[in-house]
Amino acid sequence: MSIEDDVDLLDRVPTLRLLGIPALRMLAIGSEQRDYSSGDYLFNAGDDADAGYVVRRGAFRVEDGGAEVIAGPGDLIGELALIVAMQRPSSAVALAHSSVIRLARSLFQRVLESDPAAARRLRDELAARTSQIASDILIAGAKLNI
C-alpha cells in the first residue's frame, strides 16, 4: 500500500480523522506495517503499551476479561496507549492473516506537538467522551438505586 492509501485508512478512524490530513500524512510516513498469522498475538494483557494499531486487513479478537470485541479494517486498537504510558488491559489475537499500521506513542506525540490545532481538536473530543461517560455512569447509578 502507498502512503496515500495509509492516509485514507487513517482518515476512516474517527479519532484520527480529527487530526486532519497533514497530521495523518506524518503519521502514515512515520508508522510501520506489521503482519500477523491467524492465532498470533498483537499484544497480551499486562504488556507495556507504547503504540496503537489500525487494522489494515483481517481481524483481531480483543479480549478483556469476559468481554470480547472483534476489530476489523479501519478499527483502532489500543487508542489510549497513543496518549499515556500504561499496561495493556486486554489481549488481542489475529483471527486470520492480518496486518496493522503500528502508530508509536512517541510519533503520535510528536505529531500533536507539531500541530497544536490538531491537538486541541483531539483534546476536545476526548473531553466530550469523558463527559458523556460520566453522565452515562450517573444515569446508570440512578437507575440502580431505584
Q: Which domain holds residue 31?
A: 3-144
Phi, then psi, of 62 in degrees rounded to 5: -100, 120
Where does residue 51 fall: left (phi above 0), alpha (psi -120 to 50 degrees), or beta otherwise? beta
2-24: per-residue pLDDT in tens? 899 999 999 999 999 999 999 99
Helix residue ranges per DSSP H, 36-89: none
Q: How many domains does the chain have?
A: 1
The CA distance from 17 to 74, in Å, is 11
Please tell me the predicted confidence (pLDDT) of residue 135: 74
Q: What is the mean pLDDT of the chain?
A: 92
Please tell me the predicted confidence (pLDDT) of residue 131: 76
Identify the band that residue 146 occupies on the pLDDT scale cut at 50, 70 and 90: low
51-62: per-residue pLDDT in tens? 999 999 999 999
Helix (H, G, I), strand (E, B) or coil at 108: helix
Report the predicted TM-score, pTM, of the whole model to 2 decimal places: 0.86
CATH number, domain of 19, equals: 2.60.120.10
65-90: per-residue pLDDT in tens? 678 999 999 999 999 999 999 999 99
Contact yes or no for 59/70 (Cβ under 8 A)? yes
Please tell me the predicted confidence (pLDDT) of residue 138: 78
